[in-house]
Structure 1
Amino acid sequence: MARRNPRRDRSYRPRHDGRWGDETPYRSSGYYRDRITFGRVLSAVVRGYARWVARSPDTRGLATGLTALYPAGQLAHLMQLPDPLWVAAPSAPLALAAWTATYRKHRSKSYSATVAATVAAAPGWLAFAAHAGAFSLPTLAVYSGAAALAWSAYTWSDVLRERRNWQAECAGWEHLAQAASLTDSRLISVKDVRLGKRYRVDVRKTGKRASQLAGSNSAMAEDIAGALALPRERVKVTDYHKHAGIIIVDVHTVDPWQGKVESPALTSQTAPTTRRSIMDGPLVIGFDPDSGRDMTLVVFDRAGGHHTFIVAPTGSGKTVLYYNIIEQATACRDVLVWGIDLGKGTLGAIWGDALDAYAGIDEYDRALQILTWADQVIKYRSLKSGGRNHVPSPSEPFILIPIDELDELAGYNSPIGHKAKPLFETIYRRGRSAGVGVATASQRGVVQYTGTKDPHANADNKIVLRLNRASEMGNVIPDWQIDGMPNMVSYARGVKGVALVVDGENVWSAGRVRNMSDLDAVEALAHTRGTPAATLEPDLAAALDGYADRRRVHATAGSGTGRAPSPSPSSGWGIDPADPGAVERLAHDLVADVESRLAGMPDPPERATSLDDLVAAKQLFDNAESNDPGLNRGITIPAHIAQPVLTLLDERGPEGASPADLVKATGKPESTVRRWLAIMRDQGLTVSRGSTRAARYYLPEHAPDDHEE
């Protein structure tokens, strides 16, 4: 094997002992690797300095450039350029290019001016230094001052400040993202809002969908709240409606529920000199602490009247909500308020003459009369306008009917429910264009309390106050979870008077209702409000039975504070109580009115029905489907059941009718209709084929033969 030339073979080097030989063993042992040389030190310094500059390239890079530019000027002087002016020639075009590029991107005049001046000064400095030299004390002092000024102007410009703030925000979001297991998310933007910060985050690379992260029960929101030591309710995560891969994270570092939301009508020292129109804008019923905007309620606009369906258990604040609505409605010059409160009577007791008419505790006849008036107003205006939307005015006002304790009026247990229901449905279905709107409140959103499904179908506005059960939310707003609405069972725990308001376009807001819980102050406000400024159309008012005497009742209902009202000519009787003749005439008229109303009453039966007989009759009816046919033949079928059933079966002929068709025809619950059908079958009035929901009912002459089935 040929010998290697130690002077040409790079693997042979002088060894540490001064002799030539193979250095491979020493390389592998780390001898040469651990030796400190000038080249290695310089390389390490350069790499370290480069990493230091890379961590903040804007400020540290500029400082490095300005420092290097000074000796570059002396180098240009030593090179003895023939004409230094050629070095300064690019200053103007470079400055223009720098200004155009930076201003187009950042739209900041100060930042663009600083960059343009710095870029233009570099060739100018090189031209000056090439001519006069750089190493002189005056030149060094002037250059140092100009460089420091340029560095400061650039570093503290608005663009650099925003860039540093953004880096800090990104670092802060990284901390939150790690807590929420979203390490691959990307912060798009962050904005300071009234209560904290709002983050817009791209989550497409996290492997999770925005719908999985958003929602009222978001685990991500809970993780972020835990990382920031905030209550769970202070962090909200929602999906971004414009991009499926982006979420919105609202972090409220400020308590949104601090302080109270007072009503301006109670806190204002001066009363308004003019009354507003209902067309001037929506009613303001509260404040949304998340957005900082008012919670509004539209009861009338150019599209017509808007019905309102309120669901609130006892003690949730629906009376205070009604006070807010009535306070602003009675302040309008083109609105009349007809209140119905058969359960507690507080609406009429507090607002008194500010209401154009009202029905109080157990005043069922007056409540039916108000609904009848509303029905007649709808027919009158619809006929007059040809179905066009009514435009309110002081002489043709919008009529708002707030109905508290709806179950007392139209619920299944209401003594007048069967009479109120058709009137109530007419108002809900046809009142919008005729300028008649209702605001109904019940403790639950089920038909047993509302009497009909029209509040669900025809109420544009739905308001939910504090609830006891989350399932009740679905009875009012079926898709509340999908739409990201708050759960009114857990929303703002410990805070009273909270509400969720949803309009006809499913746009919602949640917050606190304005505080009007001081009954004395509300009653004093109602007293100063006086009677309504609007009046009903004269010919329409004359056609409404009893409308002219609507203020001759409730004279002693003027106080909810336990004080007896003092008699006065304006107490609602329409007379002066100090006039003995007037009192006598009024008493005579009252007796005559009572006798006229009792004239049409049926005579009482000769023999009273005992409670045992009533219980036995109810049990007999409840067991109608399993009774002996002989027992069912002895039961009398009322006309309001038999007539619609027989009429529908006669119209259907051989086609027959299903149980659902008969339930719809009678308007009664399915269980009740099935019992009556069993009785009618045993009495030979109908014939059935099939069982359960597949059953069909026929008249005997239209029943199919058994072999045809």
Structure 2
Amino acid sequence: MARRTRQPRSATSWRDVAHRNRTNSRRGPTAGTVALTAVRGYGRWVARSPDTRGLANALAVLYPLGEIGHQTGADPLMLGAFAPPAALAAWVGTHKKHASHRYSATVAATAAAIPAWLATAAQLGIVNLRTLLAYTISASVTWSAYTWSDVLKQRRAWAREQLKWDELATAAGLEGSRLVGMDDTRLGVRFRVDVRATNKRASQLAGNGKGLAEDIAAQIGLPAERVRITTDDKHAGIIRVLVQMTDPWEGPVLHPAMPAHPDRATVPASREQIAAARRSIKGTPLVVGMDPDTGTDMTVTLFDHEGGHHAFIVAPTGSGKTTLYNNLIEQATTCTDVLVWGIDLGKGTIGRFWGPALDASAGIGEEKKALAILRWARTVVEERSKDSGGKNHIPSPEEPVILVFVDELDTLTGMHSPIAYEAKEHVEQIWRRGRSAGVELLTASQRGVQQYTGSKDPNANADYRIVLRMKRASEMGNAIEDWEGAGMPNMATYARGVKGVALVVDGENTWTAGRVRDLSDLNAVEDLAKRRGAPVATLEPAIAAKLPGYADRHRTPAHTGSRTGGGTGGHTPGHDDPGPTAARPASGGDGFGVDPGDHDAVDRLAGELVAEVEARLRDMPEPPEQGIPLADLVKANQSIKVPDDAARTILDLLTERGPDGARRDELVTALDKPESTVKKWLAAMRSHDLITRHGSTKAARYYLPDHHPDNHTQ
């Protein structure tokens, strides 16, 4: 008989296993596999909503646990003793985290009910209808109270928002981002988004936020300018996405002093109401507009515990500069410790419409008066600094803050101003020394370049910089350096088509942007100024006596009887005046401001005249030992006089050349004048800081001050 060869056990077993697996696969899954799959699926279902489904399962499991205590003979009192500490621990833990009384009360009651139920079940057992019914009702109430608590509602709403953001982020190209916060704003919502998983920096997304904002706006169905992206100040990996669901520019920002409706007349304020509205400038922010995103006010604080604060305004034609000035002057003239001096050589608007409420003003054609106001301001700075030693001035009605408003700054210190050579010296000193002495400058210029401002002091010494609507984005850098890095809006594109927008930046580079309060009705402004009347504050008599012409600033000739014209400030007869003082003499009908029969007034006027003459003579130089021949004086005057057409030709050529400048021979060719004459003209213009020169040989080049090579050296 043939003997069979025995197969190795291992090979036979592997074939058997494979055979059994194939057989089992044909027969279908086993009961254990099905049960395991079901348990896993049920666990995933519960995990998707642990607060509601998990609680329901816990309550279902808790019922039979009570029978275990009953069967083992557990002490009901011992089990019930755990209820108070469990409730206290649950309340403290949840209230500290969520700050919700309703949610904490529900959780505390649930925590206390667990040991209470176990104690009850240990005593009575669970196999009776009464216990089953009581437990079912209690568990249902507990589950409902917990499920519909405010915290659970917020969690469900947050989960829905996260799903919405995930869909929006995927469509906008921000895959991997995660929503970590969401705040309601006045006009929409602000998202806080973690972008670390996107492999993109937050600054990169914010810097190139226009494309991303446009994608998000397209998905929501909004204009691109109503979505803005910025970085988060507290986390480098988070961006803020502001979405304005409501149009922020639907209506103007009404001024409180104006009627709410155009067809409703303004009700004149009584003298009592005007007096009640008076306040101090100390720490008082002047409101100029409103931030549309938050509804908060845009403010400018001109005096606080740190002293005074200058302001530099860049406002091209038609951007709403007059309206902004109206807002500032309207609030400044309500202060009991402020005097407002206005200089507007371009249009005369300040003096024309605010004259009754101003202490002094200069308008069109009043260059001498403008220079006098600047000299007054400089003298006040010097006198107060002498007395205080440089300490911050403390304003009061007897020692007020002086706000010098200058509109159209180029007409005062610009390169084409006929008085720039004299005005610049005074303005620069006020910029640099006026803050601590309580003399503040508020200047407005169409551009932020030196040809318009006369110097770099506005950018260097102004605590507040206010930029209105720009015509070109390139002008932003002239007004505010590094505005893009600070996340400020481009005022050439901000809120396109909307009038009266402004960007306000304080001394710490904190900024707000929005819309200026609507105070554009000049007829209403004029009426408001008349009702407000003369300022309450008066300048210190000792200082007023040292200001040439200050006592005469409000006098009106007898035959006119009232203020006329657009350029002269002051008070008209009939308005309230504090009375005759050294700082503000009474207006009379004789043309001299006093009654000739009033001997005290005549003596006072004579004393003021003597003081004024002494003040004028105090700073005059001593006469030389040997006089200069008249012919030499005439020759010297002719040598420095530059004809207007020649000066304009030089400035126009240098403006056209910009940073390239021009050589002297090129200027000689352009003027078609002898080289010696052109050389004298150039020297005179350099002495007045209208132009500058780089180099000392024939190859030296002439530039406008802003284009001098030293200004661009890094």
TM-score by length of 1: 0.78
Alignment correspondent of 2:169: 177
Letter in 2 for 1:263: H
2:131 maps to amino acid: T
1:277-356 correspondence runs (5 A): 277-356=280-359
CA radius of gyration, larger in: 1
CA distance in 2, matches of 1:389, 1:566: 31
Aligned match for 2:677, one of 635, 653, 662: 635
CA contact (8 A) 1:216 1:486 kept: no
Number of the residue aligned with 1:69: 62
- 2:514 counterpart residue number: 511
Q: Deviations over 1:269-291 (max 9, x none)?
A: 54343321110412111111123
- Secondary structure of the 1:463 match is strand
Does 2:389 align with 1:386? yes
Q: Any residues of structure 2 matched to 1:103-142 within 5 Å, and which?
A: 103-129=95-121, 131-142=123-134
The CA deviation at 1:571 is 12
- State whether structure 2 residue 682 is matched by structure 1 residue 670: no
Contact 2:339-2:358 within 8 A present in 1 as well: yes
In the alignment, which of 518, 539, 549 is matched to residue 546 of structure 1?
549
- Which amino acid counterpart does residue 447 of structure 2 have in structure 1? R
1:223 aligns with 2:215: yes
1:59 aligns with 2:52: yes
* Paired residue type of 2:546: A
2:275 maps to which residue?
273
Q: Is the 8 A contact 2:465 2:505 kept in 1?
A: yes
Matched-pair contact (CA < 8 Å) for 1:568–1:576: no
User: Which of 85, 89, 97 is the equivalent residue of 2:76?
Assistant: 85
Equivalent position of 1:537 in the other structure: 540
SS of corresponding position for 2:535: coil
Q: State the shift of 1:541 in Å.
A: 1.4
Shift of 1:74: 5.2
How far off is 1:303 after superposition? 2.0
SS of the residue 2:587 aligns to: coil
Query: Relative to structure 1, is the Cα distance of residues 260 and 51 closer, same or farther in structure 2, using a 3 angstrom cutoff?
Result: same
Aligned pair partner of 1:204 in 191, 196, 199 = 196
**Cα 1:132–1:238 shift into 2, 3 Å:** same
1:491 aligns with 2:494: yes
C-alpha deviation, 1:304, in angstroms? 2.0
1:400 corresponds to 2:391: no
Match of residue 481 from structure 2: 478
The 1:299/1:100 distance shift into structure 2, 3 A limit, reads closer
Cα gap change, 1:416 to 1:217, in 2 (>3 Å): farther
> In the alignment, what sits opposite 1:574?
587
* Amino acid paired to 1:31: R
Q: Measured at CA, do residues 308 and 90 of structure 1 come closer, stay the same or move farther in structure 2, by a change above 3 Å?
A: same
User: Partner amino acid for 1:550?
Assistant: R
Task: For residue 693 of structure 1, report the CA deviation from its aligned partner.
Answer: 8.3
- Structure 2 unmatched runs, 5+: 260-265, 578-585, 597-608, 617-629, 654-661, 702-707
| Per-residue deviation, residues 80-111 of structure 1 (Å, max 9, x unmatched) | 43456388357435555544544454444543
Match of residue 31 from structure 1: 26
2:41 matched to 1:48?
yes
**Which amino acid counterpart does residue 193 of structure 2 have in structure 1?**
V
Which is worse superposed, 380-389 or 513-522?
380-389
Deviations 1:154-184, CA, capped at 9 Å, x for gaps: 2122332232232223223222322332222
1:147-166 to structure 2, matched below 5 A, reads: 147-166=139-158
Q: How does 1:683-698 map to 2 (within 5 A)?
A: none
Question: Which sections of structure 1, spanning at least 5 residues, go unmatched?
Answer: 14-20, 584-592, 645-662, 682-691, 695-709
Which digits, 9 at most, give the CA deviation of each residue in 1:481-522, with x for residues without a partner? 000000001111121111001111111111111111111211
- How far apart, CA to CA, are the structure 1 residues paired with 2:451 and 2:512? 28
* 1:321 to partner: Cα distance: 0.6
Paired residues, number: 623
1:147 CA drift (Å): 0.9
Which residue type is aligned with residue 625 of structure 1?
Answer: D
Identify which range, 173-182 or 108-117, moves more after superposition: 108-117
C-alpha distance in 2, partners of 1:571/1:440?
A: 29
Q: Which residue of 2 aligns with 1:625?
A: 665
The SS at the match of 2:317 is: coil
Residue 703 (structure 1) aligns with = none
Report the RMSD for the aligned CA atoms in angstroms.
4.3
Alpha-carbon distance, 1:414 to partner: 0.9
Q: Match of 2:374, as an amino acid?
A: L
CA displacement 1:609-650 (0-9 Å, x = unmatched):
xxxx9879998998743679xx867438659948x9xxxxxx
Question: In structure 1, what is the Cα distance between the partners aligned to 2:699 and 2:120?
Answer: 116
401-410 or 50-59, which deviates more: 50-59
Q: Which moved more, 1:430-439 or 1:313-322?
A: 430-439
Secondary structure of the 1:264 match is coil
Kept in 1: contact 2:309–2:440 (CA 8 A): yes
- Displacement of 1:346 after TM fit? 1.1
Distance 1:511 1:213 in 2: 24
Contact 2:342 2:404 in 1 (8 A): yes
TM-score, length-scaled by structure 2: 0.77
Q: Report if aligned partners of 1:635, 1:679 keep a CA contact under 8 Å in 2.
A: no
Give the Å deviation of 1:549: 1.1
Counterparts in 2 of 1:350-389, with a 5 A limit?
350-389=353-392
CA drift of 1:399 comes to 0.9
